[in-house]
Amino acid sequence: MMDRPRRLRLTPQLRALVRETTLDAGDFIAPIFVTAQSKTARPITSMPGVQQLPLDAVVAEAETMARAGIRAIILFGIPAAKDATGSDAAAPEGIVQRAVRAIKAAVPELVVMTDLCLCEYTDHGHCGIVNGTTGKRDPRLPEGYVLNDETNEILARVAVVQAQAGADVVAPSGMMDGAVAAIRDALDAAGYAHLPIMSYSAKYASGFYGPFREAAQGTPQFGDRSSHQMDPGNAREALREHALDVSEGADILMVKPALAYLDVIHATREAFPELPLAAYNVSGEYAMVKAAAQQGWIDERRVVLELLTGMRRAGADLILTYHAKDAAAWLRG
């Protein structure tokens, strides 16, 4: 006798009819790297198919994303010059601010998010003001430690400049304590109380970020980021981090990376059902799939759609993924 569940698997039409978790191009947020260092696109060797794009090419890429049914992008900037405080991040004519204005003029319906961190802009590659540099020194803390409140002051200024450029959402990613509150206060005071914050509220000190550091030119020149990003062994702490950011005014929560933290995504969805939840399918996850596909070991299309569906099934409403454009095309058939 045929088991009851198998009756509903008989044809593709029946399987689609009773599918519990669906995937759509509108679920994706596409990360884009914009550079002020080149007038031509630069391939990222560890991320096949992804490039650092000059300003005019970024606009064309944004238009392509919108035509594919992708509703949102997030911008990461590579400035022409870096310094110890990441000053280009807060410059009105900084590369991300210029890109936001150009994209919103060309594709106004696209949601343009801006990554809000200093690692791409500092010459040391860390996410903020480093203890012992630029006259900032706290004798209670080790040399090389990222100073929390001093960094938040800069992030608040950057958020306002990004808002003035036309960003639809700002996304603090440095895991500084109190960053969301500092940014919310600054935005409100500047007349941007309507602007949402997507917080990288549970961002782990992961080994999956290597290719991104090539892409964003943000590799730390010394030390690591374990003093401010989360320990991979901690799940309960993630819920505490989320709760703190919610209390400070975060509108969208995030878990980063995705694949090794599906349990954290699920726990976050259970604990915060009222807020949108994003999962970041990060560069190392992308690169592993690409490498295996290039060797012929996996079917890239099938595996990518399966992985992205798994993130949605775990509870993510939104997925930041470098596969966004390809996945959108595959979903169209």
State the catalytic residue, choosing from 82, 104, 136, 256.
256
39 belongs to the catalytic site: no
325 belongs to the catalytic site: no
Q: What is the 3-state secondary structure (H, E, C) of the chain?
A: CCCHHHHCCCCHHHHHHCCCCCCCHHHEEEEEEEECCCCCCEECCCCCCCEEECHHHHHHHHHHHHHCCCCEEEEEEECCCCECCCHHHHCCCCHHHHHHHHHHHHCCCCEEEEEECCCCCECCCCCCCECCECCECCCCCCCCCECHHHHHHHHHHHHHHHHHHCCCEEEECCCCCCHHHHHHHHHHHCCCCCCCEECCCEEECCHHHHHHHHHCCCCCCCCCCCCCCECCCCCHHHHHHHHHHHHHCCCEEEEECCHHHHHHHHHHHHHCCCCCEEEEECHHHHHHHHHHHHCCCCCHHHHHHHHHHHHHHHCCCEEEECCHHHHHHHHHC
State the catalytic residue, choosing from 82, 104, 203, 325.
203
Active site residues: 203, 256
